[in-house]
Amino acid sequence: MIIFITGPTHTGKTKLAQKLLERLHIPYLSIDHLKMGLIRTRTIPFSVEDDENLTACLWPIVREIAKTALENDQDLIIEGCYFPCTWRNDFTPDEQKTIRMLAIALDPAYIDMHFDAIVRHANDIETRLDDSGLTKTALMRENAAFIQRFQEAGETVHVIRDDYEAQTRDLVNRLNRKDGA
Q: What is the residue range of 51's domain?
A: 2-179
Is the pLDDT score of 124 beyond 70? no
With the C-alpha atoms ordered 9, 104, 94, 78, is the resulting torsion angle positive or negative? Answer: positive
What single letter denotes the amino acid at residue 49?
E
Is the pLDDT score of 167 beyond 50? yes
Structural domain count of the chain: 1
Segment 120-149 mean pLDDT: 78
Taking alpha carbons only, the member of 90, 101, 87 closest to residue 5 is: 101
pTM: 0.88
Segment 14-31 mean pLDDT: 89
pLDDT at 131: 67
Given a contact cutoff of 8 angstroms between Cβ atoms, the answer to whether 130 and 76 are in contact is: no
Segment 3-10 mean pLDDT: 93
CB-based contacts of 8, cutoff 8 Å, min separation 6 = 81, 105, 106, 139, 142, 143, 145, 146
CATH number at residue 112: 3.40.50.300
